[in-house]
C-alpha cells in the first residue's frame, strides 16, 4: 500500500499556543487530503477536505480560523490548531487520496490512506 | 441523513473461531464500502474494499459481503487470532462527486487465547 506519514505522533501544548501537525504522502501524490478528529471510543469525524493549491472546505461546525489547513504541495498538508484550549485535546488523523486511478494501477484497492494520527493534549 | 451503524459493544470470541462484524447503513446508496482496522492510538489501516456490484470479497482470512438490498455489510475473520484484536471500522464514500468518507463508530473485537 501507499504510505502516509503524520508528525508528530504526540504533542502536549499550553493553552493559548498554536500547534502544527504535518501530513505527508511519501510515495504518491496526494491530490486531496482529509483531516479527521476522533474522540475516545467514537468514530472519525471529518473536519475538512483540502485540495492541493486551493482553500480547504470545512465541515459544518468546524471553525476555519481555529483549524488552519494548508495544502501547498502534492505531498504535504498541515493542520494548525490556533490558540489551543483543553477542549481541543483529541486524536487528529489525516488521510491522503492519490491521483485518480494512480494507486489502483499499483494494485491498491483503495484510494485513501491514513496517517498514524496525532494525540494532542492541551494543558 | 446518512447513517452508518456498527455494533458498538465489544465482541469477544475464542481463538480459532470466526468473528463476524456488522455494518448497516441508511439513507445511502454507496458505490463501495471499505473496512479498516484501527489499533489504540493509531490511524486506521485499510483492509478491504467491496463495490456495489460485488457480493463477496476475500483476502486471506478476511471475507466481506455487501448486500445493497439489506443495506448491510458483514465482515468475517476466520481462524481468529489474539493479534486480530482491534477496532474495526466500516466506511462509505460520500455522495457522488465527492471523496469524503463517512465512518461507522467501529466494533471492538477481542480474541481470547
Residue B95 confidence (pLDDT)? 58
Alpha helix (H) ranges present in A67-112? 102-105
Q: Which of B41, B43, B102 faces A114 most closely, judged by CB atoms?
A: B43
**pLDDT number for residue B64:** 97
- Tell me if A116 and B49 make a contact (CB, 8 A cut-off): no
In whole angstroms, give the CA distance from residue B28 to residue B77.
26
CB-nearest partner of A119 from B36, B41, B46: B41
All residues of chain A having their beta carbon less than 8 Å from the beta carbon of residue B48 are: 109
Evaluate whether A33 touches A23 at the Cβ level (below 8 Å): yes
Mean pLDDT per block of 10 residues along chain B (113 residues) reads 84 96 89 91 92 91 94 96 97 70 91 96
Average pLDDT over residues A45-67: 91
- Compute the radius of gyration of chain B from its Cα atoms: 14
Residue with cell 499556543: A17
Q: Which residues of A33-51 are buried (b: 16+ CB within 10 A; e: fewer)?
A: bbbbbbeeeebbbbbbbbb
What are the pLDDT digits (tens) for A16-38? 999 999 999 988 888 889 999 99
What's the distance, Cα to Cα, between the start and end of chain A in Å? 37
Amino acid at each position: 500500500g501507499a504510505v502516509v506519514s503524520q508528525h508528530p505522533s504526540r504533542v502536549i501544548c499550553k493553552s493559548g499556543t498554536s500547534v502544527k501537525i504535518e501530513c505527508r504522502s511519501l510515495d504518491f501524490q496526494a491530490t486531496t487530503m482529509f483531516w479527521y478528529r476522533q474522540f475516545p471510543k467514537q468514530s472519525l469525524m471529518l473536519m475538512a477536505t483540502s485540495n492541493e493549491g486551493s482553500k480547504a472546505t470545512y465541515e459544518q461546525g468546524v471553525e476555519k480560523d481555529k483549524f488552519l489547513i494548508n495544502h501547498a504541495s502534492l505531498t504535504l498538508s498541515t493542520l494548525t490548531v490556533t490558540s489551543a484550549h483543553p477542549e481541543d485535546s483529541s486524536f487528529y488523523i489525516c488521510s491522503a487520496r492519490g491521483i485518480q486511478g494512480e494507486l489502483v494501477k499499483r494494485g491498491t484497492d483503495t484510494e485513501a490512506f491514513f496517517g498514524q494520527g496525532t494525540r494532542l493534549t492541551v494543558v | 441523513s446518512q447513517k452508518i451503524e456498527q455494533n458498538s459493544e465489544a465482541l469477544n470470541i475464542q481463538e480459532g473461531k470466526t468473528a463476524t462484524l456488522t455494518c448497516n447503513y441508511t439513507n445511502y446508496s454507496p458505490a463501495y464500502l471499505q473496512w479498516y482496522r484501527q489499533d489504540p492510538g493509531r490511524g486506521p489501516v485499510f483492509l478491504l474494499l467491496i463495490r456495489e456490484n460485488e457480493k463477496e470479497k476475500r483476502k486471506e482470512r478476511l471475507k466481506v459481503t455487501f448486500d445493497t438490498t439489506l443495506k448491510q455489510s458483514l465482515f468475517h475473520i476466520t481462524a481468529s487470532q489474539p493479534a486480530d484484536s482491534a477496532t474495526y471500522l466500516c466506511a462509505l464514500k460520500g455522495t457522488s462527486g465527492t471523496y469524503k468518507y463517512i465512518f461507522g463508530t467501529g466494533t471492538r473485537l477481542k480474541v481470547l487465547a
